[in-house]
């Protein structure tokens, strides 16, 4: 994928992930990763010539999502309940937003979840 395509996708993913309470971006393994506190919930990359966002969704949800060809086991992290979603011109950005929130919920602290849910 072109550099422009990578940058456009990263801009959208940043907007989605960094809108979550206390979320931060940290570069790790040469890729942008997104964390709630110290725990990673998403990572973006262009492995194997295609763009993808890796998300920590837990094992039950992982099994469900992997039935869809848009998803594949996240390299090096699938054993921890991660899946990756291919990012291309068919990407449903509403789905990405929902999945990022779901992944965030897997790792966020209680105060972060309260902020996400609008509780004080």
C-beta of residue 81 within 8 angstroms of C-beta of residue 56: yes
- 9: domain CATH number is 3.90.1150.30
Under DSSP, is residue 44 helix (H, G, I), strand (E, B) or coil? strand
26: its two tokens: 């940290």
Q: Which domain holds residue 112?
A: 3-116
- pTM (two decimals): 0.93
Question: pLDDT confidence of 2, banded at 50, 70, 90?
Answer: low
Tally of domains within the chain: 1
| pLDDT (tens digit per residue) in 68-118 | 999 999 988 999 999 999 999 999 999 999 999 999 999 999 999 999 999
On the question of pLDDT at 32 being above 70, the answer is yes
53: its two tokens: 């966002």
Work out the average pLDDT over 44-50. Answer: 84
């Amino acid at each position: 994928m072109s550099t422009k395509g990578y940058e456009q996708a990263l801009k959208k993913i940043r907007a989605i992930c960094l809108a979550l309470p206390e979320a931060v971006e940290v570069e790790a393994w040469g890729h942008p990763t997104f964390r709630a506190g110290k725990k990673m919930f998403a990572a973006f990359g262009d492995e194997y010539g295609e763009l993808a966002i890796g998300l920590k969704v837990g094992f039950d949800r992982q099994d469900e999502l992997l039935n869809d060809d848009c998803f594949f086991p996240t390299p090096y992290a699938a054993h921890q309940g991660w899946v990756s979603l291919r990012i291309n011109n068919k990407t449903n950005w509403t789905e990405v937003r929902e999945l990022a929130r779901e992944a965030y919920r897997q790792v966020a602290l209680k105060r972060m979840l309260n902020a996400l849910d609008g509780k004080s």
